[in-house]
Amino acid sequence: MINIGLMGLGTVGSGVYEIINNRRRFFEDEIGEKIKIKKVLVKNKNKNRNIDIDDKLLTLNPKDILDDPEVDIVIDVLSEKEIAYDYLKYALENKKHVVTANKAVVSSKMEELLYLSKENNKAFLFEASVGGGIPIINSLKQGIKADDIFQIQGILNGTTNYILTKMYEKGICFKDALKDAQDKGYAEADPTDDIKGYDTGRKLAILSTIAYNQPVDSKFINCRGIDEISIEDINEFRKLKLVPKLIGSSQRSDNHIYASVEPLLVKDESFFSNVKDAFNIISLRGYNTGELRFYGQGAGKNPTANSVVLDVLDIVKGTYTNGKVYENRKISGDKYLTFDGEYYLRLSSKDGKDNNYLLNILNMYNSKHKVINDKESLIVILPWTSENLINKMINEIKLNVEDIRYFYSGIYG
């Protein structure tokens, strides 16, 4: 008998409970072992839940799980980062296997928790922390055994992808699209981590750390969010047949790791443009395999819960692989990824200055720009430039403009 302590019974936690409870006989036939959830940690026993569960399984005390010698595996689907970290650390020190979906904990504490798992000969698995139902973590662990991964690109956040899809397809502003996402349960009441790109940054840090065999700290990943995109931009994007997507990108080159998260403009026939609503896609490039793409639901109750349960089954079968432990931590995500290529640039002047003033400054930096719109804001396409050059130009003119927005619209086909 394998006993599980489930910490959290929210959206994902209830999904985990239902899968294990409903398929327990199949698991027993498949792996020859009974799997049972012995205790479930909740905040409120009296809360109305759309799930059939015995009240006797519920507990308010984490020690009923963490200190129970009969509990073999601790599953963390809690939302609180600090609490979850303390519980996971305690569980590993208490010689219990750990499975978590908490990307905030994994991205910031991966090395420490992997070290504890090694010291105590237990598993620390986190497939559900990136990509929801997409089996990307285990695929990466297997892939790097033979291949040399040098680039990652992906739409890693379902909330922002849903918002951008609605903005583009319905022609609505960011505020209205965000409210729609909140009404449908895709966005939290406080959506800051999603819309500012921080959630994508954490997931990118996890993938990059595994892919490049070198720790990447999300604190050193430059993040720009989707709240910079206006309805005016959306209208111009559609005319240009370009689609905005929040994309996390990293690459390894010359013993450095470069990473960034920002809205990029992709061609409307590209594979990125066809990833809509809450779906995710992750592209890996390796010297042996070339490009591999992983596509699926990036969030939601059942896809994420399924990834959690797959980690549990790997533990029960003894087929799991822990990640590498880095004895000497070296922060490697300290160089931002910048792009050379075509850029979309929108400038809104202030203090009565006309667009000719802005055009004159642009000529100093890039004489080949193409004016797309000069009625209200000045919108231009810069045919070939770098993000570093754009930043220098922005510093030159920012005192004379009310608003500046730029988006890379280069080679993504």
pLDDT tens per residue across span 159-217: 999 999 999 999 999 999 999 999 988 888 899 999 999 999 999 999 999 999 888 88
Q: Is the pLDDT of residue 333 over 70?
A: no
Q: Is 324 exposed, middle or buried (0-12, 13-18, 19+ CB in 10 A)?
A: middle
Give dist(CA 237, CA 168) in Å, integer. Answer: 8
Q: Is the pLDDT of residue 6 over 50?
A: yes
Determine the 3-state secondary structure of 331 from DSSP: coil
How many C-beta neighbours within 10 Å does residue 388 have? 12
Q: Is the pLDDT of residue 273 over 60?
A: yes
pLDDT on residue 351: 59
pLDDT tens per residue across span 66-79: 999 999 999 999 98
Tell me if residue 317 is catalytic. Answer: no
**DSSP strand pairing (97-100 vs 73-76):** parallel
Q: pTM for the full model?
A: 0.91
What domains can you pick out in the chain, each with its CATH number?
2-129 (3.40.50.720), 136-297+325-336 (3.30.360.10), 340-408 (3.30.70.260)
Catalytic residue among 38, 141, 196, 203: 203
How many C-beta neighbours within 10 Å does residue 146 have? 9
pLDDT tens per residue across span 285-329: 999 999 999 999 887 888 999 999 999 999 999 999 887 766 554
pLDDT on residue 210: 93
Determine the 3-state secondary structure of 206 from DSSP: helix
Give the contacts of 194 (CB within 8 A, at least 6 positions apart): 157, 159, 160, 187, 188
Indicate the annotated binding residues.
Answer: 7-14, 103, 188
